[in-house]
Chain A
Amino acid sequence: MQPEHIRKRLEEALGITDLVWTASLHGDSYLVVPTEELRRIAFFLKEDPQCAFDTLMSLSGVHQLGEPELLEVVYHLYSIRLRHRLVVKVNLERPLALSHFYLRMNSVSEVWPGAGWLEREVYDMFGVHFVGHKDFRRLLLPPDWQGHPLLKDYQESKAYRNISTIREKAAPTEIAPDDPRISVKMSTSS
């Protein structure tokens, strides 16, 4: 089924009108869905026999700078049964001044269990909270890590558990003229 038909089917079956289809000249086109409807849409996309998106290829976060500043969560879906694909995006507006203010959205880990780890990774890297996730914590970084590194405005702290994160420049080594290392080098070359 073509993505355009999938959108029509979603609108008819679920009665959602504010789906935005963005066609792209280069690369993939995608469908932007409202945040609060995501879980319903996800269940429908998996269960509906005409959609049957049985696998979640990828789930990624994207920090889009600009006006407005957005955090996108992107779902790449594929149906092995029907051999079609769909890119679904959810846009979360990021409150600028409140970097500690966490963004929330629904988890789809009940629909595609493989999303569980991918959502943990998005939380780890972007700080998006997924509501309804059964085992929600950081995945790759240590639990006490500060900040979310893939945000464009991420500032790495100077130290982690008293281990410096700043790479020191090596001091130039001074070699005396009578250093044995020099004579060794010369003797091998001659």
Chain B
Amino acid sequence: MSFVTEEMILNMGPHHPSTHGVLRFILRTDGEVIYGCRPDVGFLHRGLEKIAEKVSYPQFMPYTDRIDYLAAMNCNFGYALGVERLAGIEVPARAEYIRVLVVELNRIISHLISVGTFALDMGAVTPFTHALREREWVNDLLEELCGARLTYNYMRFGGVSFDMPTGFLERVGNFLDYFEPRLDQFNRLISNNKIFKERLSGVAVISREDALDYGLVGPNLRASGVDWDLRRDEPYSIYPELKFEVVKPPSHTELGDCYSRYWVRILEMVESTRIVRQCVSKMPNDSYWNRSKKKLKPPPGEIYVRTEAPRGELGFYLISRGEDRPYRLKIRTGSFSAMSIVEKIAPGLMVSDLVTLIASLDLIAPEIDR
């Protein structure tokens, strides 16, 4: 007896709990197996690039918070760096250290959300509450600095908007002392969990060639076995003075699968705590903001500046015509290229593994749509 199957179009999203924002996938499925996947993006398009052409350089800083709201400091940093390079603004050493400190703290909490929601999407609810509890501490620290808990608007051209309050560095140290054993606890709770491991191992393997072809960046690229980190390979700010390792996928994972992408993020949090500790111990005592009273008008020219954000390379392509506002600003984000590879990787997966794939890529919708 022959068994006839039928293809079905399955609409996933835009309000699916696993889509981390508003994303939609149009799936062609046969039973549980996906044959085609068309991501439909743009639900969170706010026209940031058009807004950039209408407001002055400093006025665009709060908008950069909204590119990736889980890592607003990193977006601030990338934009500030781009404008500073174009306009030739010097940044005092203290400001550089404060910047790297907050950026790495932000990387820790962004990865916490990433691994927490990953576990949540796989059906493990408790780890997410643990991740959120740790994140609250950093949110409090950053609130002390700039008054905001999510969209910081903290960086300025030539420095940062506020100096650290007294006792801040001790409190950062306290957090790190608290966090490091908690991360081990988190690993015992979920990362080394047998069910979790078997659920992720070997799922949605992205080869090194595919990763490079589709322009994957950051943790996703490193998980596919490309030894690449902008902080080391195209150093900016004070990263050359700091000691840290570029994370390689651990040997107990298969190269390029969901589990290795998960582990790269866990290990990056450890590296970030090392960087933060060095910033705390080396913090210089000069000015926090090289403030200029003049209206900022960078000379005509163009520049592409990229920094290592939690979701990988965050590039700002700035064109100046000597006016007080950018002539053109293009934002290149990690989630965008990660989303474009889903079309290629999804066919052949089970529907439930697509959830694993998009959680492991750490996609965040506002960063795709901008």
Contact = CB atoms under 8 A, between A and B. Distances in A.
Nearest to A124: B42
B85 A27 contact: yes
B24 to A, nearest CB: 12
Given A28-B304, A57-B313, A117 B228 contact: no
Interface of B: 41-42, 45, 47, 49-50, 85-86, 88, 212-215, 226, 228, 233, 298-304, 306, 313, 315, 317-320, 327-328, 330, 332, 336-337, 339-341, 344, 369-370
A114 B213 contact: yes
Nearest to A151: B50
Contacts of B226: 80
A56 B211 CA distance: 11
A25 B301 CA distance: 8
Interface in A1-34: 24-28, 30
A150 to B, nearest CB: 6
Contact of A150 (B42, B50, B369): B50
Interface residues on A, range: 20 to 34
A13 to B, nearest CB: 23
Contact of A26 (B42, B303, B315, B369): B303
A62 interface: yes
A55 B208 CA distance: 12
B317 A113 contact: no
Nearest to A54: B212
Most buried by B among A62, A80, A113: A113
Given A24-B301, A139-B42, A149 B47 contact: yes
Given A26-B300, A80-B212, A150-B50, A57 B42 contact: no
Given A60-B330, A80-B228, A141-B45, A24 B313 contact: no
A87 interface: yes
A83 interface: yes
A44 interface: no
21 contacts: A24-B301, A25-B299, A26-B298, A26-B299, A26-B320, A27-B301, A27-B318, A28-B301, A28-B303, A58-B332, A60-B317, A60-B332, A62-B328, A83-B233, A114-B337, A114-B341, A117-B337, A117-B340, A140-B41, A141-B42, A150-B328
Interface in A50-67: 54-58, 60, 62-63
A116 interface: yes
A69 to B, nearest CB: 14
A55 B317 contact: no
A74 to B, nearest CB: 7
B307 to A, nearest CB: 12
A112 B213 contact: yes
A28 B332 contact: no
Most buried by B among A24, A114, A139: A114
A133 interface: no
A116 B215 CA distance: 11
B330 A58 contact: yes
Contacts of A139: 41-42
Contacts of B86: 26-27
Interface in A107-148: 112-114, 116-118, 125, 139-142
A141 B320 CA distance: 26
Given A114-B215, A140-B45, A76 B369 contact: no
A54 B369 CA distance: 25
Interface in A75-99: 76, 80, 83, 87
Contact of B339 (A27, A62, A117, A141): A117
Given A140-B41, A140-B45, A24 B302 contact: yes
Contact of B215 (A27, A30, A112, A142): A112
B340 A114 contact: yes
